[in-house]
Amino acid sequence: MMNDKHKKRRSKKSLLLFLSIGLVFSGLWFSTTSTATFVKAYMLYKTGNVEAKDFSSKPKSPQIEIAEKPSKKETLNLEYPQKPEVGDLMGELLIPKLEASLPIIHGTDEDELEKGVGHFAQSVLPGENDNSVLSGHRDTVFRELGEIGKGDIFIVKTYAGTFTYKVRQVRIVDQDDRTVIVPKPKATLTVSTCYPFDYIGYAPERYILVADLISSK
C-alpha cells in the first residue's frame, strides 16, 4: 500500500516537472516572436502608455520638407522712407550745364507737367536699380534740354539721397516708341521731352537722354 502511494507521488512530481519545463520553453519562444511584440505594444497602447504607431516590418522613410527658394528681389537697392503719391513734390532735378534747378512731381499727367518735371509713376524712383523716367514740356522746364548731350550730368535730389547720373546716349524716337520706358539692368535715368524744339503745335517725336548712375549719397 505504501509503495503505491510513493509511486503516485513520484508520478505527480515528474508530471509537474515536465509541465514546468514546457512552460519555460514556451515562454522563451513566445517572448522572442513578433507575436509577443505585437501583444506588448497593443497592451501598452490600450493602457495609454504609448501612442499608436505603425508596426509594419518595413520602416517608412522620413518625410523631408524642402524649403522654397526665396524669391530674388530684382529692382530695389535702396528703400525710400515712403512712396510718393501722384501730384507730390518728390525732389528736384539739377542740370549743372544749364545752371537749372527744376522741381520733380510724381506723375506725368498734364496737372503734374504744369508744375515741373514729371516722374513716370510706373517707373522706379530715382536712385533705384532699373529705369527711372522723367518727362517735361519742351516749351517750359525743358526749353534748353537740346543743349544737353553725351557726357553731361544730371543730379537728382530726393528725400532718399542725392543721385548723380552721366548721359551716355542721345536718342530721337517716334512719340509712340515704348522703348523709352523699358526696364534696364542697372540704375538708369531717362529724360524725355517733345521734339523738334522749334516745332509749331504737337511735336511728333521725342528727344531722349539716357544717363547712368555714377554716384549716390
Closest to 120 in 3D by CA, of 131, 133, 104, 136:
133
**12 by DSSP, 3-state: which?**
helix
Secondary structure element (H or E) that encloses residue 23, with its range: helix 2-31
Q: Which three cell numbers stand for residue 99?
A: 545752371
Among 6, 106, 119, 194, the active-site one is: 194
Residue 5 phi/psi, 5° resolution? -65, -40
- 119 a catalytic residue: no
Other C-beta atoms closer than 10 Å to the C-beta of 103 total 13
Contact 196, 149 (CB under 8 A): no
Q: Which three cell numbers stand for residue 83?
A: 512712396
- 6 a catalytic residue: no
Residues 6 or more apart whose Cβ sits within 8 Å of residue 137 = 113, 193, 194
Contact 74, 128 (CB under 8 A): no
Q: Which three cell numbers stand for residue 175?
A: 512719340
**Residues known to be catalytic:** 137, 194
